[in-house]
Amino acid sequence: MPADRYRKLGYTDVLLPDGPLPESVSQRDADLVATDTGWLAPHEAVPLPHVVRRAHAEGPGPAGVARRLRALGYHDVPASLPDTPHPGDLIMISQNAEPGRPHIPLAGVETCHVLHAAAVARVGPHEAAVRLSPSATPWSSLRTPTTR
């Protein structure tokens, strides 16, 4: 195991997730756990925007990225994500529907954001809402201007 080799080389603080790990990993796996500032911490929650960005970069849907992260030992990964990728996902999770901008909050998504993101992503507002909130009642976490 690579962690044992690191320890033999004198590295005493090798962080590994709890539980079994895959027999082998690829560069793609390393890319899944890389962030703009380093690496995902194995014992911290994986941010939803990270999963969406990696899905966009890698090609599988967000659910596929989440499944692979779980296989790599990351247990606190968002659940109930879409199986299929969508080119508008980055638009939908970004402030002002502009990829590259900070992501929107995970709760209290304004209806005006859903409508704007749907228009920019060229999807219907219902599809945008379902992708943003994959629960049984997609509009439940959305706020209209009158419910602020």
Q: What is the mean pLDDT of each run of 10 residues along the chain (148 residues)?
A: 79 78 88 92 90 90 93 90 89 90 85 92 89 53 48
Identity (one letter) of the amino acid at 73? Answer: G
pLDDT at 17: 76
pLDDT of residue 109: 84
Q: What is the pTM of this model?
A: 0.78
Q: Which of 92, 68, 65, 66 is nearest to 78 (CA)?
A: 66
pLDDT of amino acid 11: 87
Give 109's strand partners.
142
Closest to 72 measured CA to CA, from 31, 102, 110: 31
Contact 91, 119 (CB under 8 A): no
Q: In sequence order, which residues have a C-beta less than 8 Å from that of residue 85 and are 6 or more positions away?
A: 55, 56, 59, 60, 61, 62
Alpha-carbon span 143 to 110, nearest angstrom: 5
Which amino acid, residue 89? D
Write down the pLDDT at residue 100: 84
